Structure 1
Amino acid sequence: MTRDVLALRHVPFEDLGLLAPLLGARDYRTSYLDVPIEPITPEAALRPDLLVVLGGPVGVYEDDAYPFLRAEKEAVRARVRAGLPTLGVCLGAQLVATALGADVVATGRTEIGYAPLTLTDEGCRSVLAPLDGVPVLHWHGDEFAVPEGADRLAHTPGFPNQAFGAGPHVLGLQFHLEADHARIEQWLVGHAHELATAGIDPGRVRADAAAHGPRLAEAAVRVFERWLDEIPQPSR
């Protein structure tokens, strides 16, 4: 049975990446909605079998500067309140956390590059277990609180909340499992100003992508496969 996945995209190069072929192999029909320029409604967010909310270089609290966020937050809120399968990545995870009533704040610091996570006890028992000891791609400065009733799954020294799960339907990841290390140059160019502002050498990120990317890709595939296996299947 063909199923539909809708990906809410904020910048072109932060797309489904490694997740796209996995979805195709499971007969998901994928479409993108570029949220800054295309209208998003609660009805549209409720329609697909799976909603993926991708990353982007803005903050969920910047409604005045980026008014599209108001409609996006309303749509994501309708989705998670309906208990429908939803994956949030970086900004997407922050939008999901906000929809579930949690705070998201600017930290005044950045975490960019490849570094390992520490899984919580719940994280070790979760779909994230394959990430134990594996450097993942971080690219954020904001931080979400774990929503009430959700499980805190991972942390790093600078960011105590890196992932949460809210039942089998909802997974929020502050880091980028979906990013294809073979396409890291798009990230380095697209976020060149942020890298320069943070004093981060793009050559180091490039080298780490080559060193850690293949192992991370294998672990990411296992995580996504496990989560897709666990989310409830549609009855329609």
Structure 2
Amino acid sequence: MVPDPLIQGPAPRTKAVHPFRLSSDTMPNPILTILHQPNSNPGRVGAMLRARGHALDRRCPLHGDALPDDLSGYAGTVIFGGPMSANDDHLPGLRAELTLIERALAKDHPLFGICLGAQMMARVLGGRVARRPDEAVEVGYYPIHGTPEGRRLGLFDEGGMCVYQWHQEGFDLPAGARLLARGQTYPNQAFTTGRAAYGIQFHPEVTHEMMERWMAKAAHMLSWPGARDAAAHRADRLRHDAKLGRWLTRFLDHWPATA
């Protein structure tokens, strides 16, 4: 969950067509990036993908952008977080994303879902997305640990790490998916399915500026059960962000090349 103002109904359409020129044969194929607010940006994930030579095709379907019918010209698709729930079927843009995820999974198209993106992937695969019965949230830095499968793939270390979280819902592990990392409050923190589809509950894309903006826009969430206060966000970022950045570098060295 990203702390932008919650959308209460279908968003107004701003564009019916979103043309994008795919890269030439001499350049890496572009990455489709799906965001959920007009002012959202792909942060550190976007910067690292661009540094690897990928152009980014930015779409915001909840605000009128059409999603491509054909994903074959893209190296992969990243679906970012947002303030809505993966269960918000009243939002046409979200329904369009669920349809795209279903098509992408059927064709083994490389997917990378972050927070809401991972929850939508889990839902398409048959997993439940819901709040905890005690309504505890993860807002701030929390430890996660790699599973044997996560360590086997070289994506998570046995010693674990603290990652930045901002969500009030979690997902059940879908049938057939492989769990890569566990947490305490929300046990399912990362999974993979197929050849190159990955979902993570945490936010490696967040820059310091993004963190400050989220805390300003959703200050009320810092007092929710289980959330860390603003001082802890800032102190923990100094302690843990470098390792999270190194994890993201390692992950993007692995994805989408695994397809």
Both proteins in one fold, TM over 0.5:
yes
* Distance in 2, Cα, partners of 1:4 & 1:101: 29
Contact kept, 8 Å, 1:45 with 1:76, in 2: the verdict is: no
CA distance in 2, matches of 1:50, 1:81: 14
CA contact (8 A) 1:130 1:222 kept: no
Question: Residue 109 of structure 1 aligns to a residue in which SS?
Answer: coil
5+ long unaligned stretches in structure 1: none
Deviation at 1:30, TM superposition (A): 0.7
Q: Cα distance 1:195–1:40, how it changes in 2: closer, same or farther (>3 A)?
A: farther
Larger Rg: 2
Q: Aligned residues, how many?
A: 230
- Find the residue that maps to 2:170 and give its secondary structure: strand
- Taking the aligned partners of 1:157 and 1:13, their CA distance within structure 2 comes to 32
Preserved contact between residue 181 and residue 210 of structure 1 (Cα < 8 Å): no
The alignment yields a C-alpha RMSD, in angstroms, of 2.2
> Higher helix proportion, which one?
1
Structure 2, unpaired ranges of 5+: 1-25
- The residue aligned with 2:20 is none
Deviation at 1:171, TM superposition (A): 0.4
Q: Give the conservation status (yes or no) of the 8 Å contact 2:173–2:179.
A: yes
Residue 69 of structure 1 pairs with residue 97 of structure 2: no
Summarize the alignment of residues 115-194 of structure 1 with structure 2, pairs less than 5 Å apart.
115-130=142-157, 132-181=159-208, 183-194=210-221
Structure 2 residue 253 is the aligned partner of structure 1 residue 225: yes
* Cα separation, 1, equivalents of 2:158 and 2:104: 27
- Which has the larger share of strand? 1
Report the alpha carbon displacement of residue 209 of structure 1 after superposing the two structures with TM.
1.4
User: 1-side partners of 2:228 and 2:30: how far apart?
Assistant: 38
Identity %: 32
Shift of 1:101: 2.2
Contact 1:9-1:15 within 8 A present in 2 as well? yes
Secondary structure of 1:28's match?
coil
Is structure 2 residue 43 aligned with structure 1 residue 17?
A: yes
Whether the 8 Å CA contact 1:40–1:72 is kept in 2: the answer is no
Q: Which consecutive aligned stretches of 4+ in structure 1 deviate over 6 angstroms post-superposition?
A: none
**In the alignment, residue 105 of structure 2 is paired with which amino acid?**
V
Aligned with residue 112 of structure 2, among 87, 96, 115: 87
Change in CA separation of 1:46 and 1:231 when aligned onto 2, cut-off 3 Å: same
Distance in structure 2 (CA, Å) of the matches to 1:185 and 1:88:
23
